[in-house]
């Protein structure tokens, strides 16, 4: 086992925190956040010392109906600027682009004309070459770039190693471990983190972690990854994200020892902004159906449906899941 990086009392200056509340949380409310919410989130992230704020997706308007989603599904430059102006702050801005779902030529403008700093390309392991093409395109436009390999819990070690070698040889800056199904335990994250650090590290890539909370492991897996050298850490306010949600920002900032991180602005943001979302009926976070999709290492879509229908026959849900998906 590789030696632990960092201790509980010291801090690693290479660690960066990415707020993905709008992007992953947007999957809960179809990206319909009010401007007030987004402005408050932006201000809270700046005060809290968060390093990157992800505004949403750069989704293709050819493929998605703009009347059916809030604007953060598309992240037009002008909409981001309405929130951040020229973003004359230390907080960097990020967007996500799904492989095959972004119109690069029309929607990714030159970095010199954009307030966006980082474009993260989300891909499954079987579309890595397309993801590299997209990331290289964005890199050439002047952006920092990341490739986020989703659903890594269903990929073989051999495929992951090959993917890491391919990305390693590209111009991409960062590679993310993404536990889309929230099915992984810390000892698996440890092994993955070591593999990513070994191959990614050889090529000078930064490694990131994006966790889901199906088994109440999002925070634990995030800090486990950190312990093995992973340095880009995704979190969201109150863990807001699809299904069981993500690593909670308030928990992560309570753990990190770098004095630049402040928990108070996050607490204030939560009490003034996040609680309303729940009152308005938005539902996310750990629940037993998510635990069960996590245990079986399958997509949470059936658990989301189960919870939407207030179905609490967990045993029946579990048996059906087993029959259908395993």
Residues in contact with a second copy by the rule CB under 8 A: 1, 4, 8, 185-188, 213, 215-221, 223-224, 227, 238, 248, 250-251, 254-255, 263-264, 267-268, 270-271, 275, 286, 288, 291-292, 294-295, 312-315, 318-319
CB nearer a second copy, residue 174 or residue 184: 184
CB nearer a second copy, residue 66 or residue 288: 288
135 CB-near residues (< 8 Å, 6+ apart) = 119, 121, 145, 146, 147, 170, 171, 172
Please give the distance of CA 1 from its chain centroid, rounded to a whole number.
27
The whole-angstrom separation of Cα 31 and Cα 27 is 7
**Contact, 210 vs 236, CB < 8 A?**
no
CB nearer a second copy, residue 120 or residue 210: 210
The distance of closest approach from Cβ of residue 108 to a second copy in the complex, given in angstroms and rounded to an integer, is 37
The distance of closest approach from Cβ of residue 158 to a second copy in the complex, given in angstroms and rounded to an integer, is 18
CB nearer a second copy, residue 1 or residue 78: 1
Question: Which of 109, 230, 136 has the alpha carbon at shortest distance from 179?
Answer: 230
CB nearer a second copy, residue 166 or residue 263: 263
CB nearer a second copy, residue 305 or residue 313: 313
The distance of closest approach from Cβ of residue 224 to a second copy in the complex, given in angstroms and rounded to an integer, is 6
CB nearer a second copy, residue 21 or residue 221: 221
The whole-angstrom separation of Cα 189 and Cα 187 is 5
**Contact, 297 vs 153, CB < 8 A?**
yes
The distance of closest approach from Cβ of residue 52 to a second copy in the complex, given in angstroms and rounded to an integer, is 23
The distance of closest approach from Cβ of residue 316 to a second copy in the complex, given in angstroms and rounded to an integer, is 9
Triad 227, 6, 11: Cα angle to 5°: 115
Q: What is the CA radius of gyration of the chain?
A: 19
The whole-angstrom separation of Cα 326 and Cα 264 is 44
The distance of closest approach from Cβ of residue 267 to a second copy in the complex, given in angstroms and rounded to an integer, is 4
CB nearer a second copy, residue 69 or residue 286: 286
The distance of closest approach from Cβ of residue 247 to a second copy in the complex, given in angstroms and rounded to an integer, is 9
CB nearer a second copy, residue 67 or residue 310: 310
The distance of closest approach from Cβ of residue 16 to a second copy in the complex, given in angstroms and rounded to an integer, is 20
The distance of closest approach from Cβ of residue 296 to a second copy in the complex, given in angstroms and rounded to an integer, is 9
């Amino acid at each position: 086992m590789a030696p632990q990086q960092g201790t509980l009392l010291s801090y690693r200056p290479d660690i960066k925190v990415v707020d993905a509340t709008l992007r992953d949380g947007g999957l809960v409310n179809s990206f319909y956040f009010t401007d007030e919410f987004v402005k408050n989130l932006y201000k809270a992230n700046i005060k809290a010392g968060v390093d990157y704020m992800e505004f949403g997706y750069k989704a293709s308007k050819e493929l998605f109906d703009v009347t059916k989603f809030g604007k953060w599904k598309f992240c037009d430059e002008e909409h981001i600027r309405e929130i951040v102006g020229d973003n004359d702050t230390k907080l960097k801005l990020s967007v996500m682009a799904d492989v095959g779902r972004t119109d690069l030529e029309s929607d990714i403008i030159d970095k010199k004309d954009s307030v966006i700093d980082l474009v993260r390309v989300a891909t499954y392991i079987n579309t890595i070459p397309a993801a590299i093409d997209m990331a290289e395109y964005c890199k050439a436009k002047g952006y920092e770039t990341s490739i986020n390999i989703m659903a890594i819990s269903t990929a073989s070690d051999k495929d992951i190693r090959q993917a890491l070698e391919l990305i390693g040889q590209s111009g991409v800056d960062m590679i993310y471990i993404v536990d889309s199904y929230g099915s992984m335990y810390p000892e698996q994250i440890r092994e993955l983190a070591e593999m990513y650090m070994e191959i990614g590290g050889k090529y000078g890539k930064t490694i990131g972690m994006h966790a889901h909370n199906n088994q109440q492991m999002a925070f634990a897996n995030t800090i486990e990854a950190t312990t093995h050298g992973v340095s880009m850490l995704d979190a969201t306010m109150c863990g807001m994200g699809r299904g069981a949600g993500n690593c909670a920002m308030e928990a992560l900032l309570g753990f990190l020892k770098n004095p630049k991180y402040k928990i108070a602005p996050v607490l204030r943001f939560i009490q003034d902004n996040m609680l309303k979302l729940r009152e308005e009926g938005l539902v996310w976070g750990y629940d037993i159906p998510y635990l069960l999709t996590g245990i079986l290492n399958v997509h949470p879509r059936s658990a989301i449906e189960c919870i939407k229908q207030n179905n609490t026959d967990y045993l029946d849900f579990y048996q059906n899941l087993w029959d259908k998906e395993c």
